[in-house]
Amino acid sequence: MQSVLDNRPSLKAEIDKVAEVALYLWQKGWAERNGGNITINITEFVDDGMRSMLAITEPRPIGTTLPHLKGTWFYCKGTNRRMRDLARYPMDNGSIIRILPDCAHYEIVADKPVAPTSELPSHLGVHNYLIAKGSPYKASVHTHPIELVAMTHSKHFMEKDVATNLLWSMIPETKAFCPRGLGMVPYMLPSSVELGEATIRTIDEGYDVVMWEKHGVFAVDTDVMAAFDQIDVLNKSALIYIAAKGMGFEPDGMTAAQMQEMSVAFHLPK
């Protein structure tokens, strides 16, 4: 079976990274059934051969109009597809779409007519925002990390930057490698345009990683591996917190002065 990835090594390398991250999400227990989704902006890898390809589906509505997505292309996890299957067969469990000139519809171009994730409004809305800002970020990852989701069942941790400061204080690397912290979005219906809009507002407040209350996390970064890393360091901190609580004590956490010292030494934004 021919694939659009044949003879396109740079594009294939990006899709391979998505497959690698999908395996990690499954191995971590963050991707039950079809849980989670990944999209990447692949426009920079699109050549004339791809541009001349016919669509394999009719145009479908995005559900909103996203003017900055004119001429852009994305790889998207398929809705109802498993991360553990995508890890082995990324082009059977995801597809490549292009945005139509009206910026309100997309069509699937390759390899198979796998309908994109139900969280497409959040993913494409965020990509539209990132392009408008001139951001170098190309990847967005939504997943269900157990310990971070558990924290959102506490009203206290849903308050602005309470979880951020706690998680940063568990181990220095978390502030270094998730330097913008964890934004919080109150519970909203999965896959809704409102959830997408709230996610964009929270990213715009200065976060790369956004928590969806009682649901999951949504992270953006330059590529899929970097987005995964930000979630991974945050969840590591949550595990350290839980380990300390399990040993029967409230962890002290690094002091405010120690965290400030990190910001200065590593030129962190916060």
Interface residue list for ligand 13P (CB under 6 A): 34-37, 77, 79-80, 117-119, 142, 190
Nearer to ligand 13P, 118 or 263 (CB): 118
CB 185 within 8 A of CB 200: no
Q: Which is nearer to ligand 13P, 57 or 118 (CB)?
A: 118
Task: Tell me which of 14, 20, 32, 119 is the catalytic residue.
Answer: 119
Q: How far is the CB of 212 from Zn ion (least distance, A)?
A: 7
Answer with the entry of ligand 13P, Zn ion, none that 37 interacts with (C-beta below 5 to 8 A by kind): ligand 13P
Rounded to a whole number of angstroms, the minimum distance from the CB of residue 133 to ligand 13P is 24
Q: Is 58 a catalytic residue?
A: no
Looking at beta carbons only, is 119 or 208 nearer to ligand 13P? 119
Burial zone of 269 (CB within 10 Å; 0-12 exposed, 13-18 middle, 19+ buried) = exposed
Q: Which does 34 bind (CB under 5 to 8 A by kind): ligand 13P, Zn ion, none?
A: ligand 13P
Token output for 230: 């930000």
User: Would you call 77 helix, strand, or coil by DSSP?
Assistant: strand
User: What would the DSSP string read from start to end of 196-213?
Assistant: HHHHHHHHHTT-SEEEET
Binding site for Zn ion (CB under 5 A): 216
Q: Which of Zn ion, ligand 13P, none does residue 79 bind (CB under 5 to 8 Å by kind)?
A: ligand 13P
CB of 257 to Zn ion, least distance (A): 38
Cβ proximity of 57 and 78 under 8 Å: no
Nearer to ligand 13P, 94 or 181 (CB): 94
- Which listed option, Zn ion, ligand 13P, none, makes contact with residue 80 (CB within 5 to 8 Å by class)? ligand 13P
* Residue appearing with tokens 């294939």: 12
**Binding partner of residue 77 among ligand 13P, Zn ion, none, CB cut-off 5 to 8 Å per kind:** ligand 13P
> Which residue has its beta carbon closest to Zn ion?
216
Candidates 186, 194, 149; CA nearest to 35 is 149
| CA gap 249, 260 in Å, rounded | 25
Ramachandran category for residue 71: left, alpha or beta (phi over 0 → left; psi -120 to 50 → alpha): left
DSSP structural state of residue 55: P
Asked if 48 contacts 160 with a C-beta cutoff of 8 angstroms, the reply is no
Q: Which is nearer to Zn ion, 119 or 208 (CB)?
A: 119
Q: Which of 56, 50, 92 is nearest to 71 (CA)?
A: 50
**Shortest distance in whole angstroms from residue 8 CB to ligand 13P:** 25
> Minimum distance between the CB of residue 192 and ligand 13P, rounded to whole angstroms?
10
Cβ within 8 Å of residue 269, ≥6 positions away: 179, 180, 206
Residues assigned a catalytic role: 119
